[in-house]
Structure 1
Amino acid sequence: MFLLEPIGLGRAENDVYLALLDAPRASAPQLAERLGDSEPAVLAAVDRLLAAGLVQYVGRHEYAAVSPEVSVSALVQRRQSELAELQVQIDDLARLRQRTGSDGVDAVELLEGDDAVISAIARLQFEARREVLVVDAPPYLGGHCTPNVPELAQLAAGIRYRVVYAPESLEAEENVELMRRCVEAGEEARVLADGALKMVVFDREAAILPSSYQRPDPGRRWLVRRSALLDTIIACFEAQWSRAVPFSAPAPEVSDRDRRLLALLSSGMKDRSIARTMGITERTVGRRVTELMRQLGAETRFQAGVQAAHRGWL
């Protein structure tokens, strides 16, 4: 049961939280023994749960879970509040888009139609001289992800690209291959498990984002130039970048046993079924999955699957 993954916490935090829900209180050594994990790893997960308000101290060395009706709901509301706040600023500045900046152009401009959106994104990418920031997430023009030809050309010209990928953008194998090509060309890529807000920022001078995050329309985008809204959009990107998991460079080849374990994991099988299939203990499966996630730089099993696919392990 992955209760916490949709709100940005990883498998380790999820397992510790569920274990504490099953027990009135527990110490780190008790949790480590129950989960088949190391005590330092459990303590790191507990620290993140404490910071998120999901766990509380009930003794000098013991912890208890805060009721999910209270704690998880509060985290969900916080994420919804962040999205609503950005949407309010978009709406407010859209109503004021006739106000011009110092260069005499509108701070906010509505782009309507696929051709207008494609043309603006391509033009602004080719005009960029330093950096392009991207959150790659649905909705897509034409309903599917397509190669970003300007990006490959700009990477070759030395323009820096930082890209955050939503899980939905990597569901198809061809999309993972597109990301692999861009990473090999120099793109700095990360994967965000939840709440990715689609946007593109060009040299911190302009940005393009959906006309609405609540009712997104691929063919309607806002073009935002230097303004308070643009500052907010950049801050939103940096927040997503800091929460996302780096897409690591390729590592040495995985063993046949680990490849089989990852394949079974990617198919959606639970640890108990994997253990039975491979003829090993459930605790061994849990430990090896945790180690593979650490090697892959992943905080969730989904992210581990993405990383494994990128490295050609699956």
Structure 2
Amino acid sequence: MFLLEPVGLGRAENDVYLALLDAPRATAGQLAQRLGDSEPAVLAALDRLLAAGLAQFVGRHEYTAVSPEVSVAALVQRRQGDLARLQAQIEDLARAHQRGGAAGGGAAELIDGEDAVISAIAALQFDAKREVLVVDAPPYLGGHCTPNVPELAQLAAGIRYRVVYAPESLAAEENVALMRRCVAAGEEARVLAEGALKMVVFDREAAILPSSYEHPDPSRRLLVRRSALLDAVVCCFESQWARAVPLAATAPEVSDRDRELLALLSSGMKDRAIARAMGITERTIGRRVTELMRLLGAETRFQAGVQAARRGWL
């Protein structure tokens, strides 16, 4: 994981921004030398940082970083606004397709009943040939999370799974155990602190989502085929994926538990939710966060996230 991925920027912008934070001011050439990259590539990254409000000019050829407490917070708010608008677009398109009806070959149809929903999701998963995209969030069928047997079989067959978890979906220890089992089998897992919109997308050819996000009923789902609505659903997933924090990565300088704690912390989750997800007490979380902040030389939790990213811990 890198610091700026949740706000939609790439590895190049992330590395240049962290390098700028370490230098009061620097030219593109100096940054390229420090990073071992080409000057045109660094200039391109700087242009994107300038557009995002993360960097600014000082003099004719020098750049400086804008304080992350100000600039990154503004970007997060902007991304949240984009996601809210995308959610409204999905709702509008879904209503329009439902009014058109499925009998006339519409792109969306209603799946009504728990058995029908379970059957449709399983069949579409087993039909997937490349990738399944999931946002795992309550409410669940039967009122609780259950093992995704088709996922484990498909992972074993080489199908890629990218899953975004809402904090509520990791609130119970048995749910965390299910998540870890899937990650061990090859799932790419992330957690999104807030605003998770439940959905499953199959090979970008079909999706199943709640018939309403305002009043979700797990036994009533919308099956979406190739259409503008499906395009909006895929964009919505990618936006959530970009904002979420990975739950599995390598961090040689810290333990796996510390790495997981830092990842959950940087996602914006509160201590109580982190404690539930990790299966330890809230008091233990607070004590370890304080220790990590002291180790990182950080005065705030946000600064701890910046320092952890600089060291490659996230």
Is 1:94 aligned with 2:98? yes
Q: Tell me how far 1:274 sits from its aligned partner.
A: 3.7
Q: 1:210·1:221 contact (CA, 8 Å) conserved in 2? A: yes
* Cα distance in 1 for residues equivalent to 2:196 and 2:229: 18
Q: Which amino acid aligns with 2:101?
A: R
Native 8 Å contact 1:125 1:150 kept in 2: yes
The CA deviation at 1:170 is 1.7
Residues of 1 paired with 2:93 and 2:128: CA distance? 25
Contact 2:296 2:304 in 1 (8 A): no
Aligned to 2:177: 177
Matches within 5 A, 1:1-314: 77-98=81-102, 100-101=104-105, 106-249=106-249, 251=251, 254=254, 266=275, 267=282, 274=290, 283=297, 291-292=307-308, 298=314
Residue of structure 1 equivalent to 2:39: none
Q: 8 Å contact 2:86–2:236 — kept in the other structure?
A: no
Show the counterpart of 1:308. none
Decide whether aligned partners of structure 1 residues 224 and 160 sit closer, same or farther in structure 2, where only a CA change above 3 A counts: same
Please say if residues 134 and 162 of structure 1, whose CA atoms lie closer than 8 Å, have aligned partners that are also in contact: yes
Contact 2:252–2:313 under 8 Å retained in 1: no
Deviation beyond 4 Å, 4+ runs, structure 1? 27-30, 47-53, 55-66, 70-78, 250-259, 261-266, 268-273, 280-298
Give the match's secondary structure for 2:194.
coil
Could you tell which deviates more after superposition, 174-183 or 204-213?
Answer: 174-183
1:52–1:75: structure 2 CA closer, same or farther, 3 Å change rule? farther
Distance 1:97-1:282 versus aligned 2 partners, 3 A rule: same
Aligned length: 255
SS at match of 2:204: coil
Contact 1:247–1:297 (8 Å) recurs in 2: no
Q: Does structure 2 conserve the Cα–Cα contact (< 8 Å) formed by 1:100 and 1:107? A: no
Stretches of structure 2 lacking an aligned partner (at least 5 in a row): 1-5, 8-20, 25-33, 35-46, 266-270, 276-281
Return the alpha-carbon distance in structure 2 between the equivalents of residues 120 and 213 of structure 1.
19
Q: Which moved more, 1:159-168 or 1:210-219?
A: 159-168
TM-score, normalised by the number of residues in structure 1: 0.62
Percent sequence identity over matched residues? 59
Once the two structures are TM-superposed, the CA of residue 175 in structure 1 deviates from its matched residue by: 1.8
Deviations 1:277-309 (A, max 9, x none): x9x7994676777555666865xxxxxxxxxxx
